[in-house]
Each structure stands twice: as structure tokens, then as C-alpha cells.
């Protein structure tokens, strides 16, 4: 394992740079998040993903401060919940989130779920564009949005969403969504990137490639995301797993290995349906 892996960054549509891998924090409590985030940042993580809904923004903020790493070297994401889908309401939710985090800006603020039955997500996105213009956030985006939802956003503003964070792993390759994002300059972030640590990691195709490279199954799956230009945010509370999950920038997968992993795809219908789910 390398000494202190550094995470490369890539550019976003509105000019910020985003680390190519980050730490997920759901379902950590405040106390767990404080410990895990401090540990992760010390190990070399720079991107930390939280949300109002996770109820751990205070802990995440404490962990960031405990790490001693300068604010400008960190990349902090939080997410807007459905109660605040409205151009002005966004401001209140954002202010509460940064106060809990103890920060004066966010690197990335996402609409957590479109909740199309409310028909308010376009207004919410316009609220995010206000925050971007005012310099309160460095980048803005979406989570769990389908192309049809994004079409409505793109029709309402010239501001490109920097990111769409969606459920994505080798069993849920989301090809149509990825192609749509790429065509519109939107970066795809993968949640549940290692399949929640479940049976994906025991699939023979994963373990065979892992054996061939002398790597863990999780490292192989995380490398698969990187090969496809995706930004995975694996969650772990274990310092050992944090170290190995980030230690994926010194090897590559062959195109045939990427294809063999992608062949695990179970199709779009296996993904959580954001037309009927959300909060
Ligand atoms: N936008 C959205 O709607 C959503 C966003 N998210 C975000 O994405 C993040 C990641 O998604 P998540 O659902 O947590 O799923 P992940 O695919 O990241 O899996 C996390 C699980 O895998 C285990 N794990 C971590 N590393 C390893 C490893 N190297 N080997 C074996 N098991 C491992 C963890 O356990 P342990 O901690 O014990 O190591 C945990 O149980 C969340 O934390 C959250 O920040 C998640 C869901 C929805
Ligand atoms: O981000 C999230 C974490 O996981 C939860 C359970 O799947 C989701 O509800 C939520 O959107």
C-alpha cells in the first residue's frame, strides 16, 4: 500500500475541481462521523459526502476541523431535502447546513431527490444557482435525477448542474444516464459504489480480477468506477478499509476487465426509482 495516497481531481462545469473519490457518511451518527471523517482526512481523503437527511453534519464538521487540514484543501458536499424545494427556501436550508457543519461555504450542494410529485425541483435548482452566483457554494448539482428531470432543469437555466449523484455499481451500470450526463457536461458521482459491501464483492468475476491484481474486491470495483470516469464515494467507518478504498490510483484495469465487470449489470429497473422514492 502506498504511503499517503493523493486523490487526483477533475474539473466541473462551473470551474471547481472535484476529487475523483470521496468518503460517504451514511448511516453514521454524529459521533461516528466525527471520528471517521477526522481519520479519513488524515489518511488522505479530501471529499466528504453528507446530507441534511443523514443527521450528522455537526459530526462531519467536527471531524473536518479535528483533521487540521486547511479548509481550501477540502471538498465538502451536502444535500437539500424535499421540504426546501423552492427558490427562497433553499437559502434557509443551506444556511442551516453550513451552520451545523461550521463552514462558511460548501464545495458542492445537491438536490437530494427530485420528488417529481411536488413539481418543485426546477425552482430548487434556481435557488442553487443563486447560491453559486453569490459564491456561497463552489459547485451545484443533483442527485437521483433522471434524464427527463434534468431536461426540465436545462430548459430553465443556462447553468449546467456540475454533478448528478446516482446509484451506480457494476450491477447497475446506468449506461443511458451516464451517456446523457456526458453529453451535457455533468459529472456522474456513484452512490452505493461497492454495492453496499454486499454480494457484489463476492461475485466470481470480481474476486478473480482481484486475485489477478493482488487487490481486494472493493479496490477492483472502485477502480472500475475510475476507469469509467465516475466519482465513487464509498462509506466505511473502518480506518483499514478507508486506507485500502483510497489506494486505487496506482493500477489500472484492462478494457476487457472493465467489460467483464459491466456485464454484471441487472438493468435500469434494479435501481431505486426516483419517480416514486425520495425525501
Ligand atoms: N444520494 C443518495 O441518495 C445516496 C447517497 N449515498 C451516499 O453514498 C455513500 C456510499 O453509499 P453506501 O450506500 O454507503 O454504499 P457503499 O457501496 O459505499 O457501501 C458501504 C458499505 O460497505 C462496507 N465497506 C466499505 N468498504 C469496504 C471494503 N473495502 N470491503 C468490504 N466492505 C466494505 C461498509 O461497512 P463498514 O463501514 O463496516 O466498513 C458499508 O456497510 C453513502 O455513505 C452516502 O454518503 C448513499 C445512498 C443514497
Ligand atoms: O442518501 C441516502 C442514504 O441512503 C438512504 C437509504 O437508502 C437514502 O434514503 C438516502 O437518499
Neighbours of 27 (CB within 10 A): 12
As annotated, the active-site residues are 54
ipTM: 0.99
Q: Whose CA is nearest to atom 33 of ligand 1?
A: 197
Ligand 1 pocket at CB < 6 A: 24-26, 49, 112, 143-144, 165, 191-197, 201, 216, 218, 233-238, 241, 244-245
Q: What is the pTM of this model?
A: 0.98
If DSSP states are collapsed to H, E and C, what string results for the chain? CCCCCCCCEEECCCCCEEECCEEECCCCCHHHHHHHHHHHHHHCCCEEECCHHHCCHHHHHHHHHHHCCCHHHCEEEEEECHHHCCCCHHHHHHHHHHHHHCCCCEEEEEECCCCHHHCCHHHHHHHHHHHHHCCCEEEEEEECCCHHHHHHHHHHCCCCCCEEEEECECCECCHHHHHHHHHCCCEEEEECCCHHHCHHHHCHHHHHHHHHHCCCHHHHHHHHHHHCCCEECCECCCHHHHHHHHCCCCCCCCHHHHHHHHCCCCCHHHCCCCCCCCC
Percent of the chain scoring above 90 in pLDDT: 98
Q: Which of 168, 146, 177, 149 is nearest to 266 (CA)?
A: 168
**What pLDDT is stored for residue 2 in this prediction?**
44
Euclidean distance between CA atoms 10 and 12, whole angstroms = 7
- The tens digit of pLDDT for each residue in 186-222 reads 999 999 999 999 999 999 999 999 999 999 999 999 9
**What pLDDT is stored for residue 269 in this prediction?**
93
Pick the ligand that lies closest to the CA of residue 245.
Answer: 1
Q: Whose CA is nearest to atom 2 of ligand 2?
A: 26
- The tens digit of pLDDT for each residue in 77-96 reads 999 999 999 999 999 999 99
Q: Whose CA is nearest to atom 4 of ligand 1?
A: 191
Low-confidence ranges of the chain (pLDDT < 50): 1-2
Best mutation site among 24, 25, 51 for ligand 1 pocket (most ligand atoms within 8 Å of CB): 24
Q: How far is the CA of 194 from the centre of ligand 1 (A)?
A: 7
Amino acid at each position: 500500500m502506498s504511503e499517503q495516497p493523493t486523490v487526483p481531481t477533475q474539473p466541473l462545469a462551473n470551474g471547481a475541481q472535484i476529487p475523483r473519490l470521496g468518503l460517504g457518511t451514511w448511516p453514521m451518527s454524529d459521533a461516528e462521523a466525527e471520528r471517521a471523517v477526522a481519520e479519513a482526512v488524515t489518511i488522505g481523503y479530501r471529499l466528504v459526502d453528507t446530507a441534511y437527511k443523514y443527521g450528522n453534519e455537526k459530526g462531519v464538521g467536527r471531524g473536518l476541523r479535528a483533521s487540521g487540514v486547511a479548509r481550501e484543501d477540502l471538498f465538502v458536499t451536502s444535500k437539500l431535502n424535499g421540504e426546501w424545494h423552492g427558490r427562497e427556501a433553499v437559502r434557509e436550508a443551506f444556511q442551516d447546513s453550513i451552520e451545523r457543519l461550521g463552514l462558511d461555504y460548501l464545495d458542492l450542494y445537491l438536490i437530494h431527490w427530485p420528488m417529481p410529485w411536488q413539481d418543485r425541483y426546477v425552482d430548487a435548482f434556481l435557488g442553487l444557482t443563486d447560491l453559486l452566483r453569490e459564491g456561497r457554494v463552489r459547485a451545484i448539482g443533483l442527485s437521483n435525477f433522471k434524464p427527463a428531470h434534468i431536461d426540465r432543469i436545462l430548459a430553465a437555466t443556462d447553468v449546467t448542474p456540475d454533478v448528478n449523484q446516482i446509484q451506480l455499481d457494476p450491477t447497475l451500470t446506468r449506461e443511458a444516464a451516464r451517456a446523457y450526463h456526458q453529453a451535457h457536461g455533468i459529472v456522474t458521482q456513484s452512490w452505493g459504489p461497492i454495492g453496499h459491501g454486499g454480494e457484489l464483492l463476492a461475485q466470481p468475476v470480481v474476486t478473480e480480477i482481484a486475485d489477478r491484481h493482488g487487490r481486494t474486491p472493493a479496490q477492483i470495483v472502485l477502480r472500475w468506477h475510475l476507469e469509467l470516469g465516475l466519482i465513487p464515494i464509498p462509506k466505511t467507518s473502518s480506518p483499514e478499509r478507508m486506507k485500502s478504498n483510497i489506494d486505487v490510483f496506482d493500477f489500472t484495469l484492462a478494457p476487457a476487465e472493465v467489460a467483464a465487470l459491466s456485464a454484471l449489470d441487472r438493468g435500469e429497473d434494479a435501481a431505486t426509482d426516483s419517480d416514486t422514492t425520495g425525501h
